[in-house]
Structure 1
Amino acid sequence: MRLRHADGSLLHLAYCSNVHPADDLDGVAAQLERYTARVRAKLDVPVLGIGLWVAAPALADAAAADRLASQLARLSLEVVTLNGFPYKAFHAPVVKRDVYWPHWAQEDRRQYTLGLARLLAKLLPDDVVEGSISTLPLGWREGWDDAAQDAALRALADLAVELEEIEAATGKRIRLALEPEPGCTVETIAQACDAIGGLAPDWIGVCLDACHLAVQFEDPVEAVALMAASDVAIVKTQVSSALRVPSPGTAEGRELLARFNEPKFLHQVRECVNSHVEGTDDLPEALEGGLPGEREWRVHFHVPVNSAEHTTQDELSATLAALAGGTAPLTRHFEVETYTWSVMRDAPQDDEGLVAGLAGELEWTRDRLVALGAEVLG
């Protein structure tokens, strides 16, 4: 979906396809037919954006990339951003910490990301010259040392050179966006600025995930100001919302948390204790006494962005205002990322229910951007 900011900039709104399981490019194309085209029809828009997740093994099939491009055109879909965080098997029965491997100190991560950049250069619409790829924030913190940090930063610098070569060859500018996440080597915006400030700023910036920002109790206005002061670009944003539990120690709070305690994904939990953010790496740890439970918990569980009850929707709205409410947008790629529909106890599990849910999230986000002064195109 395309919108025009008040300053004339083109904004792209999409949802992320990591909600759909697909291990190869033909599988991705099939999911576009099964779900995304129906979301577009439900929204009644001429073109719908889709932020693709493509597993590493799928990149080997060059012919399938051409078929995927044809499928996108046939279904009136467009791609300007890729989610390059999960490497593969994102819909395995148990994902948990596996999503953080390979990390940026391992060669496989750079090769995967380079493959994504080459694919995106092929898939970008003819009238769009800039694409974005979100990626993990270097790696998981445990076992990370100075040698890994140095290797990761060298890999990013090497990739920046390769991205410049892609632009020279194709005319398409692909930028990388590190996505701070609770529990990782880089879990806050301040840490992101420390890690990549001054490192190829034309090519490497941040993916601002609103769920992660809220879980860490970071203020979006302060985060945006810090990135500006550090010359770190907001390459894309993931429109997402976290679970909020105001009274986790009560019976009502425990009952609510139990509904989201599932075994597939990692659900980091944070609580402000004595003005300091404390946390656990997963929800079961928090429930077993890892946090005091005396104040509000925020849980890394992506919940539908159009849901206000027990969510950080207010923080998401504030993030969107910080990004798109000024005289110029601070990013032009907005990707709704609620990948947890299949593990939400009360969510519809049929195709029609998922299509309606995704369309509802995009409608809500579109309306927020319009309220901030943007105009829907088409």
Structure 2
Amino acid sequence: MRLRDTAGRVLHLGYCTNVHPAEDLGGVIGQLDEFAVPVRERLDAPVLGLGLWLAAPVAAGLAADRASRLRLRRELDLRGMEVVTLNGFPYRSFQDPVVKHAVYHPDWTAPERLAYTLDLARVLADLLPDDAARGSISTLPLAWREPWDTVMAGRAARSLDRLARGLANVEETTGRFIRVGFEPEPGCVVETTAQAAAHLAGVDTDRLGICLDLAHLACAWERPADALRTLREAGLPVVKVQLAAALETAEPAALREYAEPRFLHQARNPGGGAADDLGEALADGLPAPWRVHYHVPLHMRPEPPLTSTVGVLREALAELVGRGACDHYDVETYTWGVLPPAHRPSTSAGLADGIAAELAFARDELCLLGART
């Protein structure tokens, strides 16, 4: 979906397809018919934005074959879909029964991560709508925090230099401008905006910046206004915003039904207390209150004493939209399949309903800040 802010700038709003498990081109096209088309129809939107997730083998195949890229572009156009952003954080197997720490590999010390990201840039150059000003790709915040040393930091820095040169080459050969945003996340080398400013100092900020996930921001207990000021002062652009809400509670026992084996759910309290997964936090008695890296649907109201961090999302949107700080907004709730049974869709139609409701919620929040469809 496209909106315009009060200054007339185009805002792109879509949903991230990493909620779907497809890992081949046929599966990616199939998920358009199974989910994306019903979502667009429920929203009565002429065009639906997608933040495509392409597993590394799919990205490599598309990058090597322009005919396949053009086929995917045609399939998107036929269904009323457009793509301005790709999710390049999970490398592959993101909806496997157990993911946990595997999502952080390969990291930015490994050549496979650079190759994957540049493959995505080549693919995105052919998927971008003709009138889109730019494309964006989100990626992991360098690596999980352990192990990390000066040797690894140097290796990652060299990879980021090669990434910037590769993006420049994509622009030279295709005419399309694509930026990559590093996504601060609890437990990673870059967890906060201050760490982003420190670890990304000296990068090419024309092409590299931040993907701001608003659930991660909340879990770090950062105030949106302060976080965005830190990024501005560091000269790091917000390349992309992931619209997401985390869980919050002062009574952690109520979170037991959310402990599950697939994804890592980091817990944080405002005093700096931390646990790397929800089960660990429950076992160790981390002092409350907690915010937990568990993406819950934006429109969902968890049962008390649980709540969500949608208030942080609203604060952040007010800052971002008010300053014209970003034009790519992606709803990223990848956890539909592991929600407690009472909240979990049991059919494809039910999941499409939920995604459409989230997008309607996000659209309405942007409109409350003056954006118009």
Deviation at 1:308, TM superposition (A): 3.8
The one of 243, 264, 267 aligned to 2:265:
267
Q: What are the equivalent positions in structure 2 for 1:113-262 lying under 5 Å apart? A: 113-248=117-252, 254=253, 256-262=254-260
Q: Could you tell me which residue of structure 2 aligns to residue 333 of structure 1?
A: 328
The one of 282, 294, 301 aligned to 1:301:
294
Q: Which amino acid aligns with 1:51?
A: G
Structure 1 length as normaliser, TM-score?
0.94
Deviation at 1:246, TM superposition (A): 2.0
CA separation in 2, counterparts of 1:150 and 1:282? 29
Q: Which amino acid aligns with 1:71?
A: E
**Is the CA contact 1:26–1:68 (under 8 Å) kept in the aligned structure 2?**
no
**Is the CA contact 1:307–1:313 (under 8 Å) kept in the aligned structure 2?**
no
CA separation in 2, counterparts of 1:106 and 1:290? 36
CA separation in 2, counterparts of 1:342 and 1:182? 22
SS of 2:86's equivalent in the other structure is: strand
**Is the CA contact 1:198–1:231 (under 8 Å) kept in the aligned structure 2?**
no
Deviation at 1:242, TM superposition (A): 0.1
Q: Which amino acid aligns with 1:247?
A: E
Deviation at 1:290, TM superposition (A): 4.8
Q: Which amino acid aligns with 1:267?
A: H
SS of 1:3's equivalent in the other structure is: strand
The one of 303, 313, 317 aligned to 1:316:
313
Q: Could you tell me which residue of structure 1 aligns to residue 45 of structure 2?
A: 45
The one of 278, 293, 296 aligned to 1:283:
278
CA separation in 1, counterparts of 2:81 and 2:172? 26
Deviation at 1:234, TM superposition (A): 0.3
CA separation in 2, counterparts of 1:194 and 1:349? 44
Deviation string, structure 1 residues 150-181 (Cα, Å, up to 9, x no partner): 11111011110110111111111010000000
Deviation at 1:192, TM superposition (A): 0.5
Deviation at 1:191, TM superposition (A): 0.3
CA separation in 1, counterparts of 2:285 and 2:89? 27
Q: Which amino acid aligns with 1:172?
A: R
Compare 193-202 and 330-339 and name the one that shifted more. Answer: 193-202
Q: Which amino acid aligns with 1:49?
A: G
1:104 aligns with 2:97: no
CA separation in 1, counterparts of 2:207 and 2:294? 30
Deviation string, structure 1 residues 105-131 (Cα, Å, up to 9, x no partner): 000000000000000001000111300
**Is the CA contact 2:278–2:292 (under 8 Å) kept in the aligned structure 1?**
yes
CA separation in 2, counterparts of 1:237 and 1:96? 23
Q: Could you tell me which residue of structure 2 aligns to residue 251 of structure 1?
A: none
Percent identical? 49
Q: Could you tell me which residue of structure 1 aligns to residue 2 of structure 2?
A: 2
**Is the CA contact 1:211–1:302 (under 8 Å) kept in the aligned structure 2?**
yes
Deviation at 1:66, TM superposition (A): 2.6
CA separation in 2, counterparts of 1:271 and 1:166? 42
Deviation string, structure 1 residues 9-52 (Cα, Å, up to 9, x no partner): 10000000000111112211110111001100100011000000
**Is the CA contact 1:210–1:315 (under 8 Å) kept in the aligned structure 2?**
yes
Task: Report how many residues are paired.
Answer: 363
CA separation in 1, counterparts of 2:360 and 2:331? 11
